[in-house]
C-alpha cells in the first residue's frame, strides 16, 4: 500500500529554475528518503532524513521534514535538463526500517 501522496503529480519548469516537490505520509516514521527514477530504470537514492532532523542538504538538494504535519519537501535548486525524472519519497514501514513504502511520485520535466 502507498504511504501517502506527493504533489504536484507533474511539474514542468525551465532549466535554471528551482523545483519543489512535496510528500505527505500517514504513519509515524523513523526515516524518510527521496529517490529518483529515470524512465524505465531502477531507483537512485538521493537523500535520507531522520525523524529527528528538520532539514538536510546534499549538493543542489534540500530536504525538509515536518513530523507534526507528516510532510516532507524536496527542493532541487538551479535545475538542469538532466534532472528530468520521477521523484519518490519513501518512508519506513512500521514493522521494518528496511521495508519502504513509497509515495505516489512527482514527474519532473526540466525544459532546456
Which residue from 19, 21, 25, 33 is in contact with other proteins, where contact means CB under 8 A? 33
Q: If we measure between CA atoms, which residue out of 38, 41, 34 comes closest to residue 57?
A: 34
Whether the ω angle into residue 8 lies within 30 degrees of 0, i.e. cis, is yes
One symbol per residue from 45 to 84: x for binding other proteins (CB under 8 A), - otherwise; what is it? x--x------------------------------------
Residues that bind other proteins (CB under 8 A): 1-2, 30-31, 33, 35, 40-45, 48, 88, 92-93, 96-105, 107
Amino acid at each position: 500500500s502507498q504511504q501517502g501522496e506527493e504533489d504536484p503529480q507533474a511539474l514542468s519548469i525551465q532549466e535554471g529554475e528551482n523545483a519543489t516537490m512535496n510528500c505527505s505520509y500517514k504513519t509515524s516514521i523513523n526515516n524518510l528518503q527521496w529517490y529518483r527514477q529515470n524512465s524505465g530504470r531502477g531507483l537512485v537514492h538521493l537523500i535520507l532524513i531522520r525523524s529527528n532532523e528538520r532539514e538536510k542538504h546534499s549538493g543542489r538538494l534540500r530536504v525538509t521534514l515536518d513530523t507534526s504535519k507528516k510532510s516532507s519537501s524536496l527542493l532541487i535548486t538551479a535545475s538542469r535538463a538532466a534532472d528530468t525524472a520521477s521523484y519518490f519519497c519513501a518512508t519506513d514501514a512500521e514493522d521494518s526500517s528496511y521495508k519502504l513504502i513509497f509515495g505516489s511520485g512527482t514527474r519532473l520535466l526540466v525544459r532546456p
